[in-house]
């Protein structure tokens, strides 16, 4: 009963934007792992948690996971459950914080994300990771960040990292094609002169890294058309992309499915792991 109550509370808090599913961290069995906190910049939110399997030998593929929160909320500690799901599969995982609205708007959170990725690339080997097998992953707004870094080479180039450093990208319920801006908050966050250039779909290219774009057909927050539209555009260009649409899954459900408690709802972790291993 206690476990069920905590899970229901976590989902309710996520839905209201009050918490990034941190309660799931309290009820999940955890693998043996090591975690270090590292600063990739001087701002308090320019820090990341880096996880690796305890006792692992050799260099493991690396995943940088960006959480969601509408570019105005979120905390890396709340997504330990997502990081550990990947650690169980043998990956080294970094979960960065990044600056959010109202302190910053577009493109500052992308600049932070690029800085975090460049930092992980530079230091992964010190923590058991293989920088030659570096993947980006995110949920919701975090999937947007990951997609923009994967598709717009200028963002990583500004941090001295070539586009070829990215081995692949996984997006869960990402907003990739969401114009016109329908809320005052989004209008305050995205104030670029050319709003089309704020959209990942505008940067779709044939030589994009392999991408896995997943959504749930019950997502009423970030509509599945975002995944469908970007996937279709990449296919038209001849880029390597796979799209998955989970029946009955909502916006929170697709990331909750990484948790051991909810893996029976959809094979999200299995699909992500298959994609990453095939390119590692």
Q: Which CATH superfamily is domain 31-278 in?
A: Alpha/Beta hydrolase fold, catalytic domain (3.40.50.1820)
What is the reported pLDDT for 149? 98
Residue 9 has pLDDT above 70, yes or no: no
* 171 close to 214: Cβ distance less than 8 angstroms: yes
> Which pLDDT band holds residue 2 (cuts at 50, 70, 90)?
very low
Residue 26 has pLDDT above 70, yes or no: no
**pLDDT tens track for 124-155:** 999 999 999 999 999 999 999 999 999 999 99
What is the reported pLDDT for 4? 46
**pLDDT tens track for 155-211:** 999 999 999 999 999 999 999 999 999 999 999 999 999 999 999 999 999 999 999
What is the reported pLDDT for 23? 58
What is the reported pLDDT for 19? 47
> Which pLDDT band holds residue 119 (cuts at 50, 70, 90)?
very high
Q: Tell me the pTM.
A: 0.92
Domain ranges of the chain: 31-278
**pLDDT tens track for 67-117:** 999 999 999 999 999 999 999 999 999 999 999 999 999 999 999 999 999
**pLDDT tens track for 230-258:** 999 999 999 999 999 999 999 999 999 99
What is the reported pLDDT for 29? 59
Residue 50 has pLDDT above 60, yes or no: yes
Residue 13: closest CA among 25, 22, 2, 1: 22
Query: Comparing 9 with 131, which gets the higher pLDDT?
Result: 131
What is the reported pLDDT for 210? 98
């Amino acid at each position: 009963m206690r476990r069920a109550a905590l899970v229901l509370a976590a989902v309710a808090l996520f839905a209201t934007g009050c918490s990034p599913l941190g309660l799931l961290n309290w009820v999940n069995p955890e693998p043996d792992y090591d975690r270090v906190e590292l600063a990739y910049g001087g701002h308090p939110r320019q820090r990341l948690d880096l996880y690796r399997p305890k006792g692992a030998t050799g260099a493991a593929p690396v995943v940088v996971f960006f959480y969601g929160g509408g570019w105005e909320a979120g905390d890396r500690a709340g997504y330990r459950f997502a990081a550990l799901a990947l650690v169980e599969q043998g990956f080294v995982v970094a979960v960065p914080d990044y600056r959010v609205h109202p302190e910053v708007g577009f493109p500052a959170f992308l600049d932070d994300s690029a800085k975090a990725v460049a930092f992980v690339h530079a230091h992964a080997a010190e923590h058991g990771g293989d920088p030659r097998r570096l993947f980006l992953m995110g949920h919701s707004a975090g999937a947007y960040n990951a997609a923009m870094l994967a598709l717009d080479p200028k963002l990583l180039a500004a941090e001295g990292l070539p586009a070829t450093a990215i081995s692949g990208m996984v997006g869960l319920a990402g907003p990739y094609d969401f114009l016109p801006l329908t809320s005052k908050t989004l209008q305050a966050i995205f104030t670029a002169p050319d709003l089309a250039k704020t959209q990942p779909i505008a940067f779709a290219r044939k030589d994009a890294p392999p991408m896995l774009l997943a959504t749930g057909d019950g997502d009423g927050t970030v509509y599945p058309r975002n995944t469908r539209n970007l996937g279709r555009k990449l296919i038209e260009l001849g880029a390597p992309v796979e799209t998955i649409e989970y029946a009955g899954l909502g916006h929170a459900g697709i990331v909750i499915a990484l948790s051991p408690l909810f893996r029976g709802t959809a094979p999200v972790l299995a699909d992500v792991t298959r994609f990453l291993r095939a390119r590692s």
